Amino acid sequence: MQDILLDISRNPQARKWVKMLGLPIPMPQDLRRGKGAWEERPLFDQDVVVYASSGSAITQAVAETLAEAGAQPHVVGDDKAVSLFQGPGEAFGRLPQAVTLEDLPSIQPHALVFDASGLSTPQDLHQLYAFFHPIVRGVKRCGRLIVLGRPPAEQTRVGAASVQSALEGFVRSLAKEVGRRGATAQMLYVADGAEDRLAGPLRFFLSARSAYVTGQPITVSASTPAVENESPWNYSLEGKVALVTGAARGIGAATAQRLAEEGARVVCLDRPDDDGPTSKLAREIGGQVLLADVTAPDAVETIQSFLKEEMGGVDVVVHNAGITRDKTLARMKPEQWDLTVQVNLDAVLRITESLLETDTFRTNGRLICLSSVSGIAGNMGQTNYAAAKSGVVGLVRSLSSVVAEKGITVNAIAPGFIETRMTAAMPTVIREVARRMNNLSQGGRPVDVAEAITFLALPHTHGVTGQVLRVCGGALIGA
């Protein structure tokens, strides 16, 4: 779907004229996105400025991750903090450069990482200002800003809990300030003992693959068992089986494509009426076709039997199939309510329970469910849809602790305005307003959601479970 403002913004001369004329038009930044499978060194030669703490296990994890990912670290901190980057830097040819707060205005980095895990008093919050104030305007377009902290619930002191909670408000606001340049800001809470699980999330949120995710708080925990044999960063789903429901087009098709690029054998599931596009997609990615209506009486048994008997089990399940039947509650027919709940929530629950009860879902599996920003914020004329999508959030949070001992992670993705057939059918004015109602002033693409789903499907994200990741560009309402 064509976005005229985005097309104009890609022309430097056009941007210049819009600015000179003083037109009140939000000119979005063309976003930098990743392509193909995950890379071994996605941050190769990128300058990353880190505010480090010498006594922090999180800083140590950051040092190792940046070196392995190919970044060039510039470290603000004492000699002990800088020394944490020395060993990893020598191993990967990325020796740290020590810098001071006074040096920051002269640096134009790709990313900023602030370790706030040691902040425990309101006065400590000034360190955020001291670091970000002189350098935030120097971050390159489509840059990345990350704040790292400890989960507030872990804190034994009320003051420390309040300060760690304050970080989320800071990041959400910072994301709105930097969004016009295509930059994003994220809050990563790292539980004590989960530092060795930070690498996957940190790589994702520092990379171009998180282009449409901003202003989000995510917790990295140690609630699931550690993965014994660490997978490589590229093609890490080699030999894994993935099921994607609603795979015929849009987000489902993009997700199937991305999972296949990471090496997965993808089962593309959609309704029998969509045999054509589903089969075409499966052929293109070397996947399998499974035709079934998820609301049919025999759908659960059909899906479970196919995965068990034909595929030998399943490692990744993406519940993407969904529908809308929008009407205000007073005008809604009972069948519109029932069908919406059946597809968006009931089918998700029944299929998942069957796969778990029959051991079709393998150990260390990944379950990703599609929720929606509408399910979080509510939306006019969508009481049925919002109820179902909010129910998905509850399912994810409840089930994550139940299956944790099997190493299975359970997460939800909540898309915002994504350019699909559904949004293309909107009235022009409504569509144009909806596109601008986020930090990045543009709609997302199906691949943006697919990238987030793929991130949660990888072995390297075993520290992320029970979370809701909003792929909404930092929606101004409900996010």
What is the set of active-site residues?
385
Query: What is the β-pairing status of strands 241-245 and 216-220?
Result: unpaired
Collapsing DSSP states into helix, strand and coil, what is residue 174?
Answer: helix
Question: For the chain, first and last CA: distance in Å?
Answer: 24
Tokens of 453: 């789903």
Whole-angstrom distance, CA of residue 394 vs CA of residue 408? 17
Which residues lie below 8 Å from residue 434, measured CB to CB, with a gap of 6+? 417, 423, 426, 443
Tokens of 409: 């992670």
Collapsing DSSP states into helix, strand and coil, what is residue 344?
Answer: helix
Whole-angstrom distance, CA of residue 213 vs CA of residue 186? 8
- Shortest CA distance to 180 belongs to which of 217, 209, 139? 139
- Shortest CA distance to 71 belongs to which of 112, 105, 33? 112
- Cβ atoms of residues 423 and 443 within 8 Å: yes
Which residues lie below 8 Å from residue 71, measured CB to CB, with a gap of 6+? 43, 44, 45, 46, 47, 48, 94, 110, 111, 206
The number of angstroms, rounded, from the C-alpha of 32 to the middle of its chain's C-alpha atoms is: 15
Which residues lie below 8 Å from residue 357, measured CB to CB, with a gap of 6+? none
Tokens of 258: 């991305």
User: What's the chain's Rg over C-alpha atoms?
Assistant: 22
- Shortest CA distance to 39 belongs to which of 69, 60, 9? 69
